[in-house]
């Protein structure tokens, strides 16, 4: 049985990733800062010992080490790490506070780096270039086509895309391949929480894509599953937009 660790597993894209991996027969460790939501999700899924969860603040090295210590107690091999934990704070750059920037850098950039660092020995175990372990970062098209009103968020996602590329080249030869998905607007609690804040901040959600709808978490998880599949074993260092074409061309409002 293959083993995956999913950060941000309590909500949105991470939560759906956990569910889909369980359906596909994986052993899953779900990490999140929201312990109550993790516990409720676990009870709801009833997956028995195939689902374990750990409260973890991905931006805190001590918390990340403790979570991976718990995982190390249960297994010595991880086949996939999916880093979905993320936060957004919106507003004009001049209105952001240093605390907001620190939070986004901690969760969106330092978090995936710390998670890879802790997971690496278990990812490398028994993996090879021919049969590599996988890391998938959940980036954003905000990091590819920056948007007024979410400038610092976009900057953290652009940084995450850079980390995916560097990790891909550094770790690929050791049997760990690293890619990112870059979703457009996805219907999750993160986006739902922005409704109401956006009118005062200058931020506008991208809304419907050229395909005529907003993405659902499953649209993103489909691509994560592809990146975890045998079909993607030669895909390394990619940042794959999952946005229905939103960023492909400018549409005058």
Ligand X SMILES: NC(=O)c1ccc[n+]([C@@H]2O[C@H](COP(=O)([O-])OP(=O)(O)OC[C@H]3O[C@@H](n4cnc5c(N)ncnc54)[C@H](O)[C@@H]3O)[C@@H](O)[C@H]2O)c1
Helix, strand, or coil here: 128?
coil
| Cβ pair 35, 55 in contact under 8 A | yes
Which residue, chain included where needed, has tokens 């998905």? 181
CA-based R_g, the chain, Å: 17
Which residue, 174 or 201, has its beta carbon nearer to ligand X?
201
DSSP letter at 93 equals: G
| 234 has catalytic annotation | no
Q: What are phi and psi of 188, to 5 degrees?
A: -135, 170
Binding mask 194-233 for ligand X (x = CB under 6 A): ----------------------------------------
Residue 101 lies near ligand X (rule: CB under 6 A) = no
For ligand X, which residue of 3, 5, 17, 59 counts as binding (CB under 6 A)?
Answer: 59
For ligand X, which residue of 87, 144, 162, 238 counts as binding (CB under 6 A)?
Answer: 87
| C-alpha distance across the termini of the chain, in Å | 49
| Cβ pair 85, 192 in contact under 8 A | no
For ligand X, which residue of 158, 171, 186, 228 counts as binding (CB under 6 A)?
Answer: 186
159 membership: H or E segment, kind and range: helix 151-171
Query: Could you tell me whether strands 176-183 and 27-32 are parallel, antiparallel, or unpaired per DSSP bridges?
Result: unpaired
Helix, strand, or coil here: 85?
coil
Residue 8 lies near ligand X (rule: CB under 6 A) = yes
Residue 58 lies near ligand X (rule: CB under 6 A) = yes
Residue 11 lies near ligand X (rule: CB under 6 A) = yes
- CA proximity to 137, closest of 169, 177, 179, 167: 179
* Cβ 51 to ligand X shortest distance, Å: 15
Which residue, 68 or 127, has its beta carbon nearer to ligand X?
68
* Cβ 100 to ligand X shortest distance, Å: 13
The stretch near ligand X (CB under 6 A) out of 30-38, 44-52, 89-97, 162-170 is 30-38
Catalytic residues: 153
In the complex, the residues that contact ligand X under the rule CB under 6 A are: 7-8, 10-14, 32-34, 56-59, 84-88, 107, 138, 140, 183, 185-186, 188-191
């Amino acid at each position: 049985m293959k083993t995956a660790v999913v950060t941000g597993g309590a909500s949105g894209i991470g939560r759906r990733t956990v569910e889909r991996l369980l359906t596909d027969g994986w052993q899953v460790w779900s990490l999140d800062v929201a312990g109550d939501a993790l516990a409720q999700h676990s009870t709801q899924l009833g997956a028995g010992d195939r689902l374990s969860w750990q409260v973890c603040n991905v931006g805190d090295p001590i918390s990340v080490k403790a979570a991976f210590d718990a995982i190390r107690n249960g297994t010595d091999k991880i086949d996939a790490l999916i880093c979905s934990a993320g936060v957004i704070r919106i507003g004009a750059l001049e209105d952001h506070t240093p605390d907001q920037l620190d939070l986004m850098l901690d969760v969106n950039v330092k978090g995936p780096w710390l998670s890879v660092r802790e997971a690496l020995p278990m990812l490398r175990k028994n993996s090879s270039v021919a049969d590599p372990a996988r890391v998938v970062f959940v980036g954003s098209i905000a990091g590819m086509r920056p948007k007024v009103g979410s400038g610092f968020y976009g900057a953290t996602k652009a940084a995450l895309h850079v980390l995916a590329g560097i990790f891909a080249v550094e770790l690929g030869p050791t049997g760990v391949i690293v890619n990112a998905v870059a979703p457009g607007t996805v219907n999750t609690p993160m986006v739902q929480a922005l409704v109401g804040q956006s009118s005062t901040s200058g931020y506008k959600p991208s809304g419907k894509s050229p395909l005529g709808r907003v993405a659902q978490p499953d649209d993103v998880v489909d691509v994560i599953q592809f990146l975890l599949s045998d079909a993607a074993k030669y895909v390394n260092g990619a940042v794959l937009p999952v946005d229905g074409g939103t960023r492909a061309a400018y549409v005058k409002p």
